[in-house]
Structure formats: C-alpha cells, structure tokens
Amino acid sequence: MSKYIYKILSICLAAVSFIQSAAGQVLRMADIDDGLVAKDTYCLFASIRLGQSIDWIEICRNTVHIPCDGNANYFRDSRQMAAVADFISLWYRGGGDPYCKNNDFTLWRLSSYMPPHKYIHSTKERFDFLNRQINNLLDYEKSSQWDYNLGSWLEMDMEAFVLRMLEKELIKINPIFRTEALAFKEYMDAAEAVYYYLIVGKDGYQGSSSTMRWAAYRKDMYTMMRQALEGILFYISDGIVPPERDPSEFTVELVNREYDSYIKGLTYLENDYTVEERSLVLDAERAAWNKWMEIRVEMAQALHEDQRTVYQQQTSTLCLSKYQMIKDRNNKHIK
C-alpha cells in the first residue's frame, strides 16, 4: 500500500512539473545561485568523496524542482528553497531513483544546506545537530493542502532517515541490533494494514489530506522506535543515562490487554470491513508487536548488565507509547 501511495505522489509531482514547465515556471538550482552547495561538503556521519559530491551537485542542478505552491517568500532564503526542492524532486519522482533511501546523499544534502562544525564529537551531539539540520530545513511556510501533504511526507521520511542512522550506529557497536531492525520492519508492515482497515476504511477516501494523515501515522511509529534507540545508543556511546522508568509499570502484558479491549469493542460499520476482517488485522499487528518485544527480551540478555537495565527501561517506554496509541484507538489519525 505504501508503494502505491508513493506512486501516486510521484505521478502528482510529475503532473505539477509538466504544468510548471509549460508555464515557464521551472525552478532549477542553477537558476537560484551558482554556489549553493560546496564541493567539499563535510558530513558528520559519512566521508563523501569529492567525485561523488560533484556528481550529486550536477544531478541537483539538472533536476526539475517543485518546491511549493507558494513563492520564494515562504522560505527563509534561496538555500532553503533549493534544498527543499532537491529533496522533493529526488526523493519522490518516478523511475525508482534510490535517493530517498540513500543515507549518504541525505547527509550530504543536509550538510551542504547547513554545514556542521568539525568539533562536534560525541554521538549525541552529532544526532542533536542532525535534528537541528532537519528542523531548520523543514521550517517554512505552507500555503495549500498540497504543501502540507509534501511537508508531512518530508517529515516522515526524515524521521525514517534518522532512525536508519541510529540503527546503523548501534549495529556498528553490536551486530545483534540488526535483529531488532528487522523485527521493527515486520511490525511496520503489520501496522500499515491497521491503517487501511481501521483508519481509512473500505472506501479508501480521507479527502485531500489523506497523504498527510498517512505520513503522520507512519512518523509516529518511527518516532516511537527512535526514542527507544536513542536511549541505549547514547548510553553505550556517551555514558548518558536516560530518565529512569520502572520496567514493570508499562509492560507487554498491559499492551496486550488493551489490544483485547480494542478488538472486543469493534462494531459493525455499514459499507466497511467486517468485524472479523478488522479483528484479524489487529491480531496480526499484535503478533508482530509481541515478536518484536520477544526479540528485545532475548537481546537484553546478550547485553552487559548496565546496558541491559537501560535497554529494559526503553522497552517499557516503547510499551507506554504503544499502549497510548491503542488506548486512543488511532483517533488522532482519523478525519
């Protein structure tokens, strides 16, 4: 389903691109400024070859940009407008371009937009600056539903990008964390079905804001995982102890009881999926959630005692986030 939405978004972008081209309103980086991106861009998490940097500059220069329905006054400056346009054009255009999942390209484009200081050393400081780059980039005015839809997708995919960087850093420390990354992906696949069966419904219509709602739903999942990984990564790398939480306060059992309550409360809806269909989807998500939590229990046993304590506390934080999502019955994402 998510691939389907990406395809729709790319088709819409292509249509807008064609209209803008016909109207003579095509924006390219070269039209804004010859020097918005330095060839020797320094990145905090990757060493980008000069040749690669030059190649990416040319790709950005030669790409048709669709920044927003609004005008340049909605952006802080031309650098921000060009950077937002690059991400929208290269992440969401058709043709199967890999830029949306290319961590090095994303790091390079963020760092060329807002260069990092070379004296940033600790892992937490690097991620703090990465979040500053993203927040600064996405801080621009929006004038239409189209702008809000694109902005929400950028926020979602930037959150997914930060999550991938956290996973990468943890896997470098201990390859065991790759197992959890795979379990989380399975959980996300199951959560996607919940969105379509219990939030969107059978008619599949949520109005012009449907893209924005879908992006917000996925972003919430990414944020839940990101917060848990930050706690253990910053502890292992920098010795930063996250706020303590009693692991017995919010547990997998509590989450499962709320799943039971959710399923028992399902009622007949006219012209929608049956109670049985919706129940099966919720059960599938619960199974993926429980599998993920079981893997975390196994992983905790493989960590050093002090790391295990922090990791178990983060599991409780995950359970709290998931409990709140189920308790809310996803109402925040319903039109």
85-107 pLDDT tens trace: 888 888 876 555 667 778 999 99
Least confident of 190-199, 304-313, 322-331: 322-331
Residue 30 has pLDDT above 70, yes or no: no
pLDDT at residue number 333: 57
Whether 150 is in a domain gets the answer no
**322 and 267 part of one domain:** yes
pLDDT at residue number 279: 96
The larger pLDDT score, comparing residue 12 to residue 320, is at 320
Q: How confident is the model at residue 57 (pLDDT cuts 50, 70, 90)?
A: confident
SS3 content of the chain, % helix, strand, coil (to 5): 70, 0, 30
**202 and 115 part of one domain:** no
**240 and 304 part of one domain:** yes
Whether 152 is in a domain gets the answer no
Minimal CA–CA distance to 250: which of 205, 303, 312, 299?
312
The larger pLDDT score, comparing residue 335 to residue 207, is at 207
Minimal CA–CA distance to 307: which of 250, 223, 242, 254?
242
**91 and 184 part of one domain:** no
Minimal CA–CA distance to 164: which of 149, 185, 133, 150?
185
Average pLDDT (140-144) is 87
Q: What is the number of structural domains in the chain? A: 2
pLDDT at residue number 128: 96
**188 and 331 part of one domain:** yes
pLDDT digits (tens, 9 = 90+) for 216-239: 999 999 999 999 999 999 999 999
Quick one: how far is CA 227 from the chain centroid? 12
List of E strands, the chain: none
Question: Which residues form the domain of 315?
Answer: 169-209+217-335
pLDDT at residue number 14: 47
Give the side-chain half-sphere CA count within 13 A for 27. 21
- Average of per-residue pLDDT values in the chain: 83
**201 and 306 part of one domain:** yes
- 204-208, 248-252, 291-295 — most confident range: 291-295
Q: How confident is the model at residue 19 (pLDDT cuts 50, 70, 90)?
A: very low
Neighbours of 135 (CB within 10 A): 12
92, 295, 316, 317, 320 from 246: Cα distances, Å: 42, 20, 7, 9, 11
pTM: 0.86
- What would you report as the CA-atom Rg of the chain, rounded to the nearest whole angstrom? 21
Q: How confident is the model at residue 132 (pLDDT cuts 50, 70, 90)?
A: very high
- 29-38, 141-150, 258-267 — most confident range: 258-267
